[in-house]
Chain A
């Protein structure tokens, strides 16, 4: 069966420090991969998605970036964190389909709670 691992679970970082969150998926090949952010008490905002190695699409202009160095590895990074980057970051995967993720549900990791101080 498929599993998704996301780490760390919690992170407290000072403003201006770098960030690296990692996500890996097991049990499936060529997944679509996603990074979502959830502010406290809010909905889910799509940050990045990837349909293949090295292919990254950004949805929200910001000081975050994403990379996919391997088929089942997705990394979220920042060179300098802002206070507004605080939130609950969720990695997700879905089945790769010819015309996109369309009818395939998202499977989320356990999330990383980031607090920027």
Chain B
């Protein structure tokens, strides 16, 4: 089955710096790659997603890039702010009913 690896597990950056989180997947049939943000004690919420026919997508300060050949995709957050502090999960779907999640990255943005 699909396997998703996410790195790093913890990331600490200074406010205003950029943060990059990377994920790799195993199933070449995967075609949908969402990213979720989970604040402490709350539910995960979708922040951005990308489909396999697109290499990059941007929404204000966040962007996602996808390399289908290498089977990895990344989340980029620019000009980080303290409210960006949360756990971020990458996820992968092969077009079926299962969305498989990475283990998560805990991001700390220091003011």
Contact = CB atoms under 8 A, between A and B. Distances in A.
B93 A101 contact: yes
B5 to A, nearest CB: 11
A43 B45 contact: no
A42 B103 contact: yes
Contact of B102 (A43, A57, A100): A43
Interface residues of A, number: 23
B99 A108 contact: no
Given A44-B44, A44-B89, A101 B96 contact: yes
Nearest to B43: A108
Interface string A41-73: 011101001010000010100000000000000
Contact of A43 (B34, B95, B101): B101
Contact of B44 (A51, A57, A90, A99): A90
A108 B97 contact: no
A106 interface: yes
A103 B30 CA distance: 10
B97 A43 contact: no
Nearest to B35: A105
Contacts of B102: 43
B96 A43 contact: no
A43 B43 contact: no
A102 interface: yes
Given A102-B32, A106-B46, A110-B43, A43 B99 contact: no
B32 A49 contact: no
Nearest to A50: B97
Contacts of A43: 89, 101-104
A90 B34 CA distance: 17
Contacts of A46: 98-100
11 contacts: A32-B97, A42-B104, A43-B89, A43-B103, A90-B44, A103-B93, A105-B34, A105-B46, A106-B34, A106-B44, A106-B46
Interface of B: 31-32, 34, 36, 42-46, 49, 51, 89, 91, 93-104
Closest 5 CB pairs of A and B: A102-B95, A108-B43, A44-B101, A100-B96, A43-B103
